[in-house]
Amino acid sequence: MSWIVLVLSGVLEAVWATALGKSEGLSRLGPSVVFFAALAASMAGLAYAMRDLPVGTSYAVWVGIGAVLTVTYAMATGDESVSALKVLFLAAIVGGVIGLKLLH
pLDDT digits (tens, 9 = 90+) for 9-53: 999 999 999 999 999 999 999 999 999 999 999 999 999 999 999
State how many domains the chain has: 1
pLDDT band at 104 (very low <50, low <70, confident <90, very high): confident
pLDDT at 60: 95
Show contacts of 83-88: CB within 8 Å, 24+ apart: none
Contacts of 53 (CB under 8 A, 6+ apart): 2, 3, 6, 104
Which residue segment(s) compose the domain that 70 sits in? 2-103
Distance between CA atoms of 46 and 62, rounded to whole angstroms?
A: 7
